Amino acid sequence: MCGIVGYIGERDAYPILIKGLHRLEYRGYDSAGVALLGSNGNLNIYKTKGKVKELEEFSQQKDISGNIGIAHTRWATHGEPNQTNAHPHFSMDESIALIHNGIIENYAVLKETLIQKGFIFRTNTDTEVIVHLIDFIRREEKTTLFRAVQLALQQLIGAFAIAVIEKGNPDTIIAARKSSPLVIGIGEDEFFLASDATPIVEYTKDVVYLNDNEIALMERGKGLKVVDLLNVEKSHVIQHLELTISQLEKGEFEHFMLKEIFEQPRTLRDSMKGRINIEENNVALSGVIDNSEKFKNARRIIIVACGTSWHAGLIGEHLIETLCRIPVEVEYASEFRYRNPVIYQDDIVIAISQSGETADTLAAVEISKAQGAFIYGICNAVGSSIPRNTHSGSYIHVGPEIGVASTKAFTGQVTALALLALNIAKVKGTITQETLESFVKELSLIPEKIEKILEKSDSIKRFSRIFTYAKNFIYLGRGFSYPAALEGALKLKEISYIHAEGYPAAEMKHGPIALIDSDMPVVVIATRNNLYDKVVSNIQEIKARNGRIIAVVTEGDAVVSKIADYCIEIPETHEALDPLLSVIPLQLLAYHIAVTKGRDVDQPRNLAKSVTVE
């Protein structure tokens, strides 16, 4: 979590850093800070509790001059979110400033040693040890800042993306990474650095993604230098980004989340572009075709993911088992990585991640890779760590997702999984041409069906107001709709802070039914499929106990509409693709309830979009 940004060049650094922090605020927003080497040679550090706009207010009337600086927006791990614990942290003589994203696991031991050497710690953070360690080494070894950073990093255990500047050295920024993301932008006589490319793309599209244990030296008037911790020079590849600024702005929408919900017809067209061919009724994913033997011979598929991506994985399990007849296990990456899992060489591990940076998912990838499995990534952020660590994969191509609660990434992931399952099934010969054709046709119709559902946003908004009283919600679904129910419940709790549980509808009788009374809203996905009658019985059971039912039904439903308190109709589609439609009203319901309750929809409390710590 945490966002870091840095600049060195001819321009004023402050506006670039502040704008960059706003772009990275999705990564954490409990405190923020900036360090600038001012035009008079001072190292000016301003920090505040709260969001970036509070930092801006705090820095008004202060010296914000200088064309070199670093800045940070925090998601607290060690030490409460307050002004002192906010980054940048600085050395005792206030000559070195440092920002950090990640966790230093051995900070306690290092801190103890540094205290014995006379260092005074001002904060409760793990990060402060890095800056004191650099300072200590710099003095002891009488060496350059760069060398001191390099030696200090050799002693760190954990994850870091850092940037360092020093008073009296206005021509240099040093940055380094291990297990936390770091991108360097290369402009004309200027460098940018950031946790992702969004703060950079406005100024340059040429970027370098640092690898683990690499240190970058950015010096005025010189080219980028990258070395490893042992000082071996590393070559770096400059990549050209496709990202545009409009993808990073809210436009006419009140929130990024609403914009991203409404973008889904387009983003799903983009996810499918070049991968399905409607004329030829075909699916072609290069990641599968290029590795067809691996997929043909896979003994088992293990899907690893977290949060919303894990919900997409549950739908993937259903799709792959149905279409490809390969056993699939879906694992929380955080559990999988510490369970000493059994992994076979003929296993395929699919890692699903919007950000491509989730620490647990990345670790699960590394463990599986080390044990010989073939790793396939389904990610959104191009060039991020997970796709760079997989053997093959598919980007979901939904563009930057900025709202902390995931929406368009979920539907992009489910679409990518549907394409993957269809392509594996084709390669394995477990699907008939007729079924393939019907799936391709239905997939191609999903975007316009979503457009129809989005037209209901205002009516969902109207009735959602009634439910702002609720302290709890239950979401039910069966089969393919069960993960959609989980996802609907997650959306609601993330952004409205109303407690919500997703359950397989039939499981309700084994506990949650005890909660049902006239205050309990129950959202049921009751679309027409082979489990429909059973779900209708579950609805009756809720009604008999006075629960308040909000049902998502297929257009023209005549049964549930008579029992439910509120019905949202969605177009009919293939059962396996139904979550792509049923999740849309659930996203809208959560959104409208949260807005009515006055919640900070795009940046809900305590959450962060990119979870780069365990």
Contact set with ligand G6P (CB under 6 A): 306-309, 353-355, 358, 361, 404, 406, 607, 609, 611
Task: Identify the residue whose tokens are 């230098």.
Answer: 225
CB 400 within 8 A of CB 248: yes
Name the closest residue to ligand G6P (Cβ). Answer: 307
* 73 vs 353, beta carbon nearer ligand G6P: 353
Asked if 355 contacts 361 with a C-beta cutoff of 8 angstroms, the reply is no
Q: Whole-angstrom Cα distance, residue 384 to residue 26? A: 16
Cα 481 from chain centroid?
A: 23
Give the pair of three-digit tokens for residue 503: 């359950």
Compute CA distances 511 → 200, 503, 537, whole Å: 50, 10, 17
Q: Which two tokens stand for residue 186?
A: 């290369």
206-209 vs 191-194, strand pairing mode: unpaired
Nearer to ligand G6P, 196 or 569 (CB): 196
Cβ proximity to ligand G6P, 38 vs 307, nearer residue: 307
* Residue 128 CB neighbour total at 10 angstroms: 28
* Residue number, 364 or 549, with CB nearest to ligand G6P: 364
Is 324 among the residues known to form the active site?
A: no
Q: Are 503 and 487 in contact (CB under 8 A)?
A: no
Classify each residue of 193-207 as buried b or exposed e, where b means 16 or more C-beta atoms within 10 Å of its C-beta.
Answer: bbbbbbbbbbbbbeb
Complex with ligand G6P: residue 152 or 352, whichever CB lies closer: 352
Query: Cα angle vertex 507, ends 314, 450, to 5°?
Result: 45
Q: Which two tokens stand for residue 614?
A: 């365990």
Beta bridge partners of 535: none
Nearer to ligand G6P, 257 or 551 (CB): 257
User: Is 259 in the active site?
Assistant: no
Cis bond before residue 447 (omega within 30° of 0): no
Least distance (Å) between residue 296 CB and ligand G6P: 28
Strands 548-554 and 566-570, how do they pair? parallel
Q: Which is the catalytic residue, given 2, 306, 324, 379?
A: 2
Considering the complex, state which of residue 89 and residue 397 has its C-beta at the smaller distance from ligand G6P. 397
Beta strands in 407-485 (DSSP E): 472-477
The SS3 assignment for 330 reads strand
In SS3 terms, 194-224 reads as ECCCCCCCCCCCEEEECCCCEEEEEECCCCC
In contact, 173 and 6? CB cutoff 8 Å: yes
Active site residues: 2, 609
